[in-house]
Chain A
Amino acid sequence: MNFVLSLVASIVAAVVVGLGSAYFAVQSAMPAGSVVKNGPWSANLAAGGTNADNYTRTAVAIGGLLALNKDETIYYGTSEDGAGEQFDPKCAYRIEGRDPDARWWSITAYAKDHFLINHPSKRYSVSKTSVVRAADGSFVIRVSTAQAEQNWIAASPDGFQLTLRLYNPGTSVRDDPAGVALPTITKEACS
């Protein structure tokens, strides 16, 4: 009886520890050198590539399945602002910058489950071809649960994350993905 109990307890503990450690390893993924941080944005340059390891493949399968390789598209993601604070759905955020060096770009908000946010406005994203720019070429985008005038992306009251897609990234992005100028993210008013 003691043998059976010990066996069952060992198996249960092994499954919990094995799956739990795998989960945390994937969450904090990833192979050194393939993840770049640029302000609040981070990108896994191994995503979609044929030289990715299984931790990266698993992370991509969970949070970005069917990603293109970095030569075609670089995906930056964030769930925090420029001060390093997690997005608070009670607050509005200001994304400010100029066109990143890419043939086409977009910023899209996703719910925590990695799907588009269910909002009647269907204002899921702002892109290179939809953004309204100032005379000097700069733009300001707002992300909030409350509707804004223009360049507005609807956030979810249950939390959200942002993805910046750079399709056919230019030389400056490919050469220095951690240092190239990307839009900044600043917290504004909170309710």
Chain B
Amino acid sequence: MSWVKWGVFALVLAAIVHWAAVAYAPTLIMSRVMSAIGAKGTNQIGHGERATAASRRIVKPSPDLLYSQCVFDVSRRPLRITTAAPTDTYWSVAFYAANTDNFFVLNDTQAKGQPATIILMGSAQNVPPQPEGTLVVTAPTTRGIVLFRTLINDDAREGELDQQRKAAKCEPM
């Protein structure tokens, strides 16, 4: 082939590499994080320590929050998530798809400060009728992360809030 044809070949290949890198990087990075924080298994909750400079799993952690997390897999059955309801502070539970999208979030104001129950199901699943007030959310991907945030609005309350947030649950139905 002439150098012109090799040049065209290289440009087309470069475009494919560019597209693939941007298309798959979010999923690959999420996959690595899910493997790291879900090392103990999926569909169960874990409670992280308050972030310090030694916290290296997830970029830009907030040092003012307590994070709890659940790597979910709804490929076989839905998941029941129960939030804790730490008092007099901001808290939220956020759902992330495998491509990093934050597809659902509920905070303490929306939950009126009360514990909330959320059923997370796959797109091909159905759930039986649930008690009034139960939220049902469809996950756009079978795997992802549920992240619970509790704001430490006063350092003196850290121990109390740490205990309160541990009432949260993440369990298969």
Residues of A that sit less than 8 Å from B by CB = 3, 6, 9-11, 13-15, 17-19, 21-22, 25-26, 48-50, 52, 54-55, 57-58, 60-69, 71-72, 103-104, 106, 108, 110, 114-119, 122, 124-125, 127, 129-130, 163, 165, 167-168
Contact = CB atoms under 8 A, between A and B. Distances in A.
Contacts of B153: 104, 129
Q: Which of B9, B11, B21, B94 neighbours the largest number of chain A CB atoms within 10 Å of its CB?
A: B21
B152 to A, nearest CB: 9
B10 A65 contact: no
Interface stretch (B56-64, B76-84, B164-172): B56-64
Contacts of B138: none
Interface in B23-82: 23, 25-26, 29-30, 33, 51-56, 58-64
Q: Which 5 A-B pairs have the closest CB atoms?
A: A18-B17, A14-B13, A118-B53, A48-B102, A114-B59
Contact of A68 (B25, B51, B58, B94): B94
A18 B90 contact: no
Contacts, number: 171
Interface size band for B: 35 or more
B64 A115 contact: no
A104 B90 contact: yes
A83 B136 CA distance: 49
A67 B11 CA distance: 34
Contact of B29 (A19, A61, A116, A124): A61
B51 A14 contact: no
Q: Which of A6, A18, A66, A116 neighbours the largest number of chain B CB atoms within 10 Å of its CB?
A: A66
